[in-house]
């Protein structure tokens, strides 16, 4: 049986032939090809423009959400506080420390430096807090690790920043962020506490460059809640030293600049008393109490130290 579609098709063709539709002269093949190529070229350029807009919009969105991805490489998935290789660390590196936020406005309760009492380095600054005070990110960055260490940091958070630094926040009640989370400077990241190896509520705050624990006082002026300068130059020879731009205060300023606790470059067992020193200031410099320093040296509570006197520190 002949289909209705075929009958209609034949009828239509016959009608067209009779009206001369197929007798018309077609356009030249070359003209048609040129027009076709031009149309395809226009479509291609349009698609390329669309792709470019989409790509740029996507890049802008990514840059808005998180810092450069290439900083999240070495040791990113490590559970160690220091995941870096010594061989990769440059001798000197300029770090941009603008766009900062102080992690907490509390006063410094313990400085960076060697602690003779415990026979080890204190690699950060301790900042006084009240239980569950809000702790904030020091710079924009991305959370590398949240963890718990019973004999050390307690609950802690490590954030890696686009300027090359990592900051460590220890003895927390609990973190408010998770690994791989992007954070902004000043964003709440934890509640402060007293976990781990801690004798009271405080924030243990570290600033590290490729594993090197920089003296935070080299970057931050904690007394004035700011940074000393817009940049900090990391140097393997000086990273343990603090910076102090306060006006000179005579002998006490000189004693402070010579303070081996701030330079953290000595593990000496004795200290020679200088002009301006007090028993309490010397004790604090080495992570000791005045009572402990007196006991080490067999001193009575009423004994007074003298310039040139040699005190035992261990």
65-79: per-residue pLDDT in tens? 333 334 445 566 666
Mean pLDDT, the chain, as a whole number? 76
Q: What is the pLDDT of residue 118?
A: 74
CA 293 to CA 302: how far, in whole Å?
13
Proportion of the chain above pLDDT 70, given as a percent: 64
Structure confidence by residue, pLDDT tens digits, 223-282? 899 999 999 999 999 999 998 765 544 434 444 444 434 433 345 678 888 877 788 778
pLDDT category at 195 given cuts 50, 70, 90 is very high
**Which is more confident, 41 or 14?**
41
Q: Please answer whether residues 262 and 272 qualify as being in contact, where contact means their C-beta atoms are separated by less than 8 angstroms.
A: no
Q: Which of 184, 70, 166 is nearest to 124 (CA)?
A: 166
Q: Say if residue 108's pLDDT is above 90.
A: yes
* Distance of alpha carbon 72 from the chain centroid: 11
Proportion of the chain above pLDDT 90, given as a percent: 42
CA dihedral for 70, 211, 80, 66, sign (positive or negative): negative
3-state secondary structure of 282: helix
Question: For residue 2, how many C-alpha atoms fall within 13 Å in the half-sphere facing its CB?
Answer: 5
């Amino acid at each position: 049986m002949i289909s209705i579609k075929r009958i209609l098709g034949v009828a239509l063709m016959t009608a067209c032939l009779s009206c001369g539709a197929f007798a018309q002269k077609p356009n030249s093949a070359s003209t048609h090809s040129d027009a076709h190529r031009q149309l395809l070229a226009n479509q291609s350029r349009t698609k390329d423009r669309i792709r470019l807009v989409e790509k740029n919009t996507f890049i802008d969105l990514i840059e808005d959400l998180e810092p450069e991805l290439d900083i999240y490489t070495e040791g990113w998935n490590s559970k160690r506080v220091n995941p870096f290789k010594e061989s990769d660390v440059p001798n000197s590196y300029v770090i941009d420390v603008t766009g900062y936020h102080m992690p907490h406005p509390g006063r410094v309760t313990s400085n960076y430096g060697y602690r003779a009492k415990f026979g080890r380095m204190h690699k950060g600054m301790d900042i006084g807090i009240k239980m569950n005070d809000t702790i904030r990110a020091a710079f924009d960055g991305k959370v590398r690790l949240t963890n718990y260490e019973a004999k050390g940091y307690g609950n802690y958070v490590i954030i890696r920043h686009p300027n090359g630094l990592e900051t460590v926040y220890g003895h927390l009640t609990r973190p408010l962020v998770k690994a791989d989370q992007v954070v902004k400077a000043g964003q709440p990241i934890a509640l402060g506490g007293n976990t781990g190896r801690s004798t009271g509520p405080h924030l243990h705050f570290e600033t590290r460059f490729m594993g090197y624990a920089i003296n935070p006082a080299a970057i931050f002026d904690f007394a004035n809640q700011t940074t000393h300068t817009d940049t900090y130059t990391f140097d393997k020879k000086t990273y343990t030293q603090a910076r102090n731009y306060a006006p000179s205060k005579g002998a006490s300023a000189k004693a402070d600049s010579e303070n081996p606790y701030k330079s953290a470059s000595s593990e000496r067992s004795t200290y020679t008393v200088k002009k301006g020193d007090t028993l309490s200031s010397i004790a604090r410099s080495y992570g000791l109490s005045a009572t402990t320093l007196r006991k080490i040296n067999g001193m009575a509570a009423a004994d007074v130290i003298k310039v040139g006197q040699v005190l035992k520190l261990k």
